[in-house]
Each structure stands twice: as structure tokens, then as C-alpha cells.
Structure 1
Amino acid sequence: MDLLNTWYLTRAAGITSYVLLSLSVMSGLYGLVRKKHGQSPGIYPLLHTALANWAMYIAMFHVAILFFDQYTNFTWKDILVPFATTYKTIPMAIGIIGFYLLIATILTTEMRNKIGVKIWRKLHMLSPIVYIMVTLHGLWIGTDSKTTGSFGMYVISIFGVLLLLFLRFKRSRQQVLKYPRGTMN
């Protein structure tokens, strides 16, 4: 496989996977914000799951295509074992661990009826770690991360996630009136 094509494919798959993961996180959070305000979460939980699944599929492609990269000459160990590569060891390890946590999050979601919703919810709390790790991986190792477009993509993603987290955990006016400062659990 041609070096240039491999590089483009790897970059395109990584960026696409990141965008899908970001949209998955945002749609999941938006569904929770709607639910918090007494609205139906609508299609957002389904969208959240579908986007996460596609992010994982494209991330798998991103990982697989790295094996064919003639510039770095990765081995399967370099690609699949954290800290095994000598090529940008830390950001590669962060990406590998984030990839495994993404797979674990999706698998436990698929098995939530078997493992129980209570256990699944606790495991699903690892999702923010996945998002943070994948963001760090992309910013640190991405060859385009310093370009205006790519950096803008990260800023928009991070801002969107932080805004939705704020809305998700913000105390409503009714909560403030019912539970004065320091009395709510």
C-alpha cells in the first residue's frame, strides 16, 4: 500500500472517528439534559449509540490501516499494546488505551440487560475518560492538530461537551429554591 495513501487513510479515519465520538458524547448528554428538564430524550439515545458504534468501527479501521504504514513500520504489538512502540510512545499508549475503553464501553452497553442497568451505569461512567484520552491522543499525535481546521474541530468539540456537561449538572432554579446552598446531595 502506498505510503501517501496510508497516511491519508489513517488521518481521515482518525478524524472521522473523533468527530463521530464527539457527536455521540454530545447526543448522549443532550438526551440527558432533555430528560432532566422533563422532556422526552427523543431519538438522542439511539443516535448516541449509533454514533458510538460507528466511531468504534472507523477507529478499528484507523488502527488496522496503521499496520500497512510503510513510514512507521508498526508491528501489531506496536499498535495493540500500550507503551510497546518507540514511536511517540505516550500519545500512542493514550490512543490504544482509549480505543480499548471505547470497545469496552460499547460491549457493556450491548450487554446491559445481562449485566444489569446498575452495573452498566457505573461502567458507562468510564465514557468521559474515553473522550478525554481520544482528544489528547488526537491533539498530541495528530499531524494536522495544529492546523486551524483541526484545532477548531477540537475546540468546538470540547466546548460543546463542556457546555452540555454544565447543562446536565447545573442545578435548576426549582432545585435551588427547594434545596438552599449546601443542603442538596
Structure 2
Amino acid sequence: MIDFFVSLPTWMLIRVFGMSAYIVLFLGMALGILYSYPQWKGARKAQMLRWHKFANITGTGLALLHTVLLIIDTFMPFDWAELVLPFSAKHNPILNGIGTLALYGLLLVLFTTDIRNMLKRKVWLAFHFLSYPIYILCVCHGFLLGSDSKLGWVSFMYGATVLILIVLTAARFLMVPRKRQLKSVHVSKQL
């Protein structure tokens, strides 16, 4: 059985799971931002929430596989302590530590979402907004440490996904929710 695992193309699988995790988590982030747009209603909004949750759970699972495969990799093996303790890796401790923190962050956001009903909305929202710095950690880990980052299409992927999330976030903050519009109209009429 051990021979089977050691004979796997682990370095390729680690890379594939890492980039797949990044892309799926990007989709989860994009769907989460789009979900917050005020124009989405009813069944379409509910469907978007389901896909948002699915993408984030799947992306986190892929990130866990990316991490666990490092144990059996023969090219550059990691031990459990290097994977669990941030910044303790022998090879590139800073960037690997950033990846470890990002994984912990993903797990924290998923956990707090699971117990959302037990938290005050502001507390849950504060944890949920950690998705932005966690995403930045994922970008830094993947782009700066990834062995494929020198390839043009991979660099383009990172740049395009970051730009898309910036545009979606900026557009969201430029949209004034209907409640705020009504309050500002009410206040201006009183003046």
C-alpha cells in the first residue's frame, strides 16, 4: 500500500490540487461578492448562495489535499510539524507559513459560517470579511511559491482573478443599498 502512494506523481498532484483550490476558492469569493449585490432576489439568489458554499467547501477540501500530499512527496517531503506549524518549513518557511495561515483561515471562515446562527451578525460578518486577507495570503502563497507561476498563463490567471475580485468588490461598495437610499432621501427632505 505504501508503495502505491509513493509511486503516485505527487509533485504533479500537489500542483494540480493547489491551483484547482485557488481557482475554486476564487469562484467562491466571486459568488459571495455577487450574492451581496442588492439586485439578486429569490431563487436566483438562493442558487448563488448554494454555489458559493459549494465552491468554498470544495476549494478548502482541495487545499487540504494539496497540503496532505506534501507528506508523501519524494521530491520535497514535509513532515507534519512543518505543515501544521506556520513558518516552520525547512524550504521557504515564510511562503509556506503563509499557506498554512491561509488554510487555517479558510477553516475558520467555514467553521464560523457553520455556527452562524449562534453568533451575532456583526461577529459572523467580521469573521466572513477575513476572506479578503485570506485570499491575499492564498495569492501570495500560490504566485510567489508556485513552481508554475513563471508560466505566462498562470501569471495571467493570478492577475485576472485578483482584478476581477477588486472590480466586483468596488462595484459592490459603489452600490447603495435601498435602505440607505431611502434614509438619505428622507434626511435631505427634512433639511
Q: Same fold (TM over 0.5)?
A: yes
Corresponding position of 1:65? 69
Matched, 1:11 2:11: no
The 1-side partners of 2:46 and 2:113 are apart by: 19
Paired residue secondary structure (1:43): helix
Matches within 5 A, 1:99-110: 99-110=103-114
Shift in Å at residue 2 of structure 1?
A: 3.3
Shift in Å at residue 71 of structure 1?
A: 1.8
Corresponding position of 2:7? 2
The 2-side partners of 1:73 and 1:151 are apart by: 26
Q: Which runs of 5+ in 2 are unaligned?
A: 1-5, 186-191
Q: Which runs of 5+ in 1 are unaligned?
A: 180-185
Change in CA separation of 1:16 and 1:38 when aligned onto 2, cut-off 3 Å? closer
TM-score, L = length of structure 1:
0.87
The 2-side partners of 1:13 and 1:22 are apart by: 14
How many residue pairs match? The answer is: 173
Structure with the greater alpha carbon radius of gyration: 2
The 2-side partners of 1:109 and 1:156 are apart by: 28
Matches within 5 A, 1:131-150: 131-150=135-154
The 1-side partners of 2:19 and 2:153 are apart by: 11
The farther-off stretch of 160-169 and 118-127 is: 118-127
Shift in Å at residue 117 of structure 1?
A: 2.8
Matches within 5 A, 1:174-185: 178=184
The 1-side partners of 2:159 and 2:7 are apart by: 32
> Aligned AA for 2:7?
D
The farther-off stretch of 94-103 and 70-79 is: 70-79
Matched, 1:161 2:146: no
> Aligned AA for 1:46?
R
Shift in Å at residue 38 of structure 1?
A: 6.5
Matched, 1:83 2:95: no
Change in CA separation of 1:38 and 1:18 when aligned onto 2, cut-off 3 Å? closer
Paired residue secondary structure (1:83): coil
Matched, 1:127 2:131: yes
Give the aligned CA root-mean-square deviation in angstroms. Answer: 1.8
